[in-house]
């Protein structure tokens, strides 16, 4: 058995993933296939006795894509973080985005003069003499042909993939685009020949007839508009792939280790299990390990969501990507490379993005039977009129009319126009939507999972209460605390100093400042000794906290961190510090519940703290004490119950869960990793945007279905007319010119309908 990774070129949508997966899975000897659109790669497990990598590459090529086996199987983490040159390898830069942008710009460059030539005379615009009048009709037609050719060449990929899919019996949107634009081009070329023949034979009537039947601009416009939509899709995909790159950036590229009794800086990929790693203040931890000597406060918010740093001492475990805020540690490496906590998170993000079920587009489903039916109608109609004795050009005109009116311009616009208008509407209300898939998924959501720290709460510790003894005013206690904490690097010190600054209190100078790691601090103010720290510091200095036990009991139960301020003999007071709820959290949760959504809180914080938040917000279910891997697993469990889950978070620790969820929603004030991993970003910290987004999703999806109806309404009405069904009855027929007009009218209808979203006033409501 062998597992091999292949780089895939040419994939641009979930339909591509399905085609590649199916083509490889049908091979004899294939055991497992996983195609990842995010990294344009495919992992294949197969029986070497029956298959080789060449067989897999050939199967992918037959499906219309290119596959190349990697010479050395490495994880994305290793390939990105390490490279022989020492520079970061940009594996996840999506070149497809720039390619689509250039294609659209190139198409537009030729489309503008083409439209001017084809319609300038009708609009009474200044027009070159060489294109005016009966004598220059051939010039008029041939210039349009020359301007159309570059647009078709630039967008030749639609024809290659479209006709290839058609030949395989699996037509898609590219097939519709290829057939429709080819029909317009072929009829235009035919019209040029008829114009030339008419001018040579003196048949002015024929010349005038075909001068109005040149439809080069129709095919060129179709290709340009479709390419614009594809560019926006590619750009969304490119932004999504940046999540993995930013996750990888968290890992230090080097580590300081003890080798031959000397401190040596080496690439992190060379660290082995058992190595002694040195961590200094301000550094990021490169590996998972166990503290041998030293102590430090580590910021673990990236992994656990806990806003208050954790004190680490000998015997404690330390995770990669955590940051040493103060102190010094000597670690014994226990997990390196792919086994570290950060690498596991990266793997979860990648796997979750690959395993998301492709969202079947209604237009693609319809095209599966629509294209063969249209082709059949066009061929049969032409054949029937030939058999009835009509001229070849009449029969050909009938066939081309059927194909032109069936051209998928409106069908291709139905979804992207509504999506673009919807995303613009959302952006104006502080919501960034990254893809059409996320809008399509939003209206199906029935369960909202909320992270606590930074999502429901502010994510920053603040002073919530000051309790002083009866002989000491609050502000005086705060002055003592601020004077002590002025010299401290502990995160709680910032909360105390911020409160002092807010009250206009100026810290006093201190001497003999001393830090007790994990306990607190001691200093002398105006020749008197003072302490600031936890209960253990008080106990070690034989200072009783009994008088404050009842006053602080409820605060401790609610998850507040208590900072005792004492002199040499007694406790002077207690300052409570906590991460408090955001102002609009309660209202937002209530509004979600009113919409019939089940709200669940999922946090890495302690159960006691989570339950306090739960009571305040009225959330029925809470899951606490969960690490990133656990968060992702909890989302899996909810999905296994048949739920459509939206995850709302702001931290790096939320990234796997955000990607695993059916819909990932990030708070704009959160980390870049969370923002890049999510499908939707709420620019503000207002959670009411979650319910607003779901409402908008429902409106956009309804609009898309209406657009698809109008896109096909003209086909259903026009195809029989174009095929000549009504000629024997009323003499009605539809020339290619009117067929193209009907096709354009369907596009205009779709666009106007989509624009209604912009003027909708009931979409965005503050909860």
Lowest-pLDDT choice from 152-161, 229-238, 447-456: 229-238
- The yes-or-no verdict on residue 61 having pLDDT over 90 is no
Which tens digit of pLDDT belongs to each residue from 520-571?
899 999 889 999 998 889 999 999 988 888 888 778 767 788 899 999 889 9
DSSP secondary structure string for all residues of 127-192: --GGG-SGGGHHHHHHHHHHHHHHHHHHTHHHHHHHHHHHHTT---HHHHHHHHHHHHHHHHHHHH
Estimate to the nearest angstrom the gap between the alpha carbon of 571 and the chain centroid: 52
Which of these, 324, 341, 335, 327, lies nearest to 293 by C-alpha position? Answer: 327
Phi first, then psi: give them for residue 414, nearest 5 degrees.
-50, -45
Which of these, 669, 649, 668, 667, lies nearest to 659 by C-alpha position? Answer: 649
- The yes-or-no verdict on residue 454 having pLDDT over 60 is yes
Catalytic residues: 451
Q: Average per-residue pLDDT in the chain? A: 78
pLDDT bucket at 209, cuts 50 / 70 / 90:
confident
- The yes-or-no verdict on residue 494 having pLDDT over 90 is no
Query: Which three-class secondary structure state does DSSP give residue 466?
Result: strand
Which tens digit of pLDDT belongs to each residue from 368-397?
566 677 778 888 888 888 888 887 667 777
Estimate to the nearest angstrom the gap between the alpha carbon of 590 and the chain centroid: 27
- The yes-or-no verdict on residue 72 having pLDDT over 50 is no
- The yes-or-no verdict on residue 663 having pLDDT over 60 is yes
Q: What is the pLDDT of residue 238?
A: 58
Q: Which residues of 188-218 are buried (b: 16+ CB within 10 A; e: fewer)?
A: bebbbebbbebbeeeeeebbebbbebbbbbb
Is 652 in contact with 673 (CB distance < 8 Å)? yes
- The yes-or-no verdict on residue 597 having pLDDT over 60 is yes
**Which single residue is written with the structure tokens 């999502």?**
455
CA distances from 71 to 5, 7, 74, 80, 719 (A): 9, 11, 9, 16, 53
- The yes-or-no verdict on residue 255 having pLDDT over 60 is yes
Lowest-pLDDT choice from 112-121, 208-217, 544-553, 608-617: 208-217
Instruction: Give dist(CA 16, CA 641) in Å, integer.
Output: 29
Is 187 in contact with 213 (CB distance < 8 Å)? yes
Q: What is the pLDDT of residue 767?
A: 38
pLDDT > 70 in the chain, percent: 76
Q: Write out the two tokens for 62.
A: 């037959």
Which tens digit of pLDDT belongs to each residue from 416-446?
667 767 766 776 676 777 766 777 788 889 9
Lowest-pLDDT choice from 297-306, 485-494, 661-670: 297-306
How many CA atoms lie less than 13 Å away from 540 in the CB half-sphere? Answer: 13
Q: What is the pLDDT of residue 366?
A: 61
Instruction: Give dist(CA 377, CA 720) in Å, integer.
Output: 9
Instruction: Give dist(CA 647, CA 312) in Å, integer.
Output: 31
DSSP secondary structure string for all residues of 84-127: TTSSPP-TT--HHHHHHHHHHHHHHHHHHHHHHHHHTTTTT---
Instruction: Give dist(CA 208, CA 98) in Å, integer.
Output: 43
Q: What is the pLDDT of residue 333?
A: 92
Query: Which three-class secondary structure state does DSSP give residue 673?
Result: helix
Mean pLDDT of 505-526: 89
pTM for the full predicted model: 0.56
Mean pLDDT of 316-336: 88
Which tens digit of pLDDT belongs to each residue from 116-162?
888 766 666 777 777 777 777 788 888 889 999 999 999 998 888 77
The residues, ordered by sequence, that sit 6+ positions from 735 with a Cβ below 8 Å of its Cβ are 213, 397, 401
């Amino acid at each position: 058995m062998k597992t091999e990774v292949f780089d895939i070129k040419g994939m641009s949508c979930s339909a591509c993933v399905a085609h590649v997966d199916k083509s490889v899975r049908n091979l004899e000897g294939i055991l497992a296939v996983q195609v990842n659109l995010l990294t344009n790669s495919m992992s294949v497990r197969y029986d070497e006795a029956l298959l080789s990598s060449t067989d897999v590459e050939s199967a992918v090529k037959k499906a219309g894509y290119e596959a190349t086996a990697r010479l050395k199987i490495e994880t994305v983490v290793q390939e990105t973080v390490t490279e022989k040159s020492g520079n970061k390898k940009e594996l996840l830069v999506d070149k497809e985005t720039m390619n689509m942008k250039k294609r659209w710009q190139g198409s537009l460059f030729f489309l503008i003069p083409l439209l001017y030539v084809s319609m300038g005379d009708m609009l009474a615009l200044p027009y070159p003499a060489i294109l005016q009048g009966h004598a220059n009709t051939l010039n008029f037609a041939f210039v349009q042909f020359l301007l159309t050719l570059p647009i078709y060449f630039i967008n030749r990929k639609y024809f290659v993939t479209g006709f290839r899919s058609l030949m395989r019996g699996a037509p898609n949107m590219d097939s519709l685009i290829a057939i429709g634009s080819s029909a317009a081009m072929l009829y235009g070329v035919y019209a040029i020949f008829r114009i030339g023949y008419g001018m040579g034979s003196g048949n002015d009537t024929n010349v005038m007839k075909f001068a109005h039947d040149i439809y080069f601009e129709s095919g060129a416009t179709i290709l340009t508009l479709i390419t614009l939509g594809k560019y926006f899709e590619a750009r969304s995909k490119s932004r999504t792939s940046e999540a993995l790159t930013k996750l990888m950036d968290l890992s230090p590229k080097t580590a300081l280790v003890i080798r031959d009794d000397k401190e040596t800086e080496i690439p992190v990929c060379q660290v082995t299990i058992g190595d002694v790693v040195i961590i200094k203040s301000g550094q990021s931890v490169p590996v998972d390990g166990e503290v041998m000597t030293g102590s430090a406060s580590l910021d673990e918010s990236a992994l656990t969501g806990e806003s208050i740093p954790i004190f680490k001492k000998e015997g404690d475990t330390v995770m990669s990507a955590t940051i040493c805020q103060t102190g010094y540690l000597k670690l014994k490496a226990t997990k390196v490379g792919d086994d570290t906590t950060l690498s596991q998170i990266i793997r979860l993000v990648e796997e979750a993005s690959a395993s998301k079920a492709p969202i079947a587009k209604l237009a693609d489903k319809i095209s599966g039977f629509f294209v063969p039916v249209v082709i059949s109608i066009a061929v049969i109609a032409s054949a029937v009129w030939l058999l009835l004795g009509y001229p070849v050009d009449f029969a050909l005109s009938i066939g081309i009319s059927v194909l032109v009116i069936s051209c998928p311009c409106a069908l291709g616009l139905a979804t992207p126009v509504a999506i673009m208008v919807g995303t613009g509407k959302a952006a104006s209300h502080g919501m960034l939507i990254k893809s059409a898939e996320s809008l399509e998924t939003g209206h199906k959501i029935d369960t909202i999972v909320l992270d606590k720290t930074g999502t429901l709460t502010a994510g920053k510790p603040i002073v919530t209460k000051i309790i002083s003894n009866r002989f000491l005013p609050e502000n005086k206690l705060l002055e003592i605390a601020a004077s002590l904490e002025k010299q401290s690097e502990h995160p709680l010190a910032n909360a105390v100093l911020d409160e002092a600054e807010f009250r206009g209190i100026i810290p006093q100078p201190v001497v003999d400042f001393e830090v007790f790691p994990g306990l607190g601090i001691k200093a002398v103010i105006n020749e008197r000794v003072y302490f600031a720290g936890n209960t253990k510091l008080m106990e070690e200095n034989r200072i009783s906290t009994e008088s404050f036990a009842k006053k602080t009991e409820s605060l401790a139960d609610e998850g507040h961190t208590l900072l005792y301020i004492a002199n040499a003999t007694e406790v002077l007071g207690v300052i409570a510090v906590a991460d408090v709820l955001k102002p609009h959290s309660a209202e937002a949760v209530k509004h979600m519940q009113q919409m019939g959504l089940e709200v669940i809180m999922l946090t890495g914080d302690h159960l006691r703290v989570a339950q306090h938040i739960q009571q305040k917000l009225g959330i029925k279910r809470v899951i606490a004490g969960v690490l990133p891997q656990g968060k992702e697993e909890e989302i899996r469990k909810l999905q296994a119950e048949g739920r459509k889950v939206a995850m709302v978070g702001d931290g790096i620790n939320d990234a796997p869960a955000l990607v695993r969820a059916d819909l990932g929603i990030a708070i704009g004030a959160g980390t870049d990793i969370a923002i890049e991993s999510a499908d939707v970003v709420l620019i503000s910290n207002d959670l009411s945007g979650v319910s607003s987004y779901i409402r908008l999703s429902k409106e956009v999806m309804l609009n898309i279905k209406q657009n698809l109806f109008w896109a096909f309404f003209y086909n259903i009405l026009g195809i029989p007319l174009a095929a000549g069904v009504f000629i024997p009855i009323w003499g009605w027929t539809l020339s290619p010119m009117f067929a193209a007009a009907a096709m354009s009218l369907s596009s205009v209808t779709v666009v106007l309908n989509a624009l209604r979203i912009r003027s909708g006033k009931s979409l965005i409501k503050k909860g």
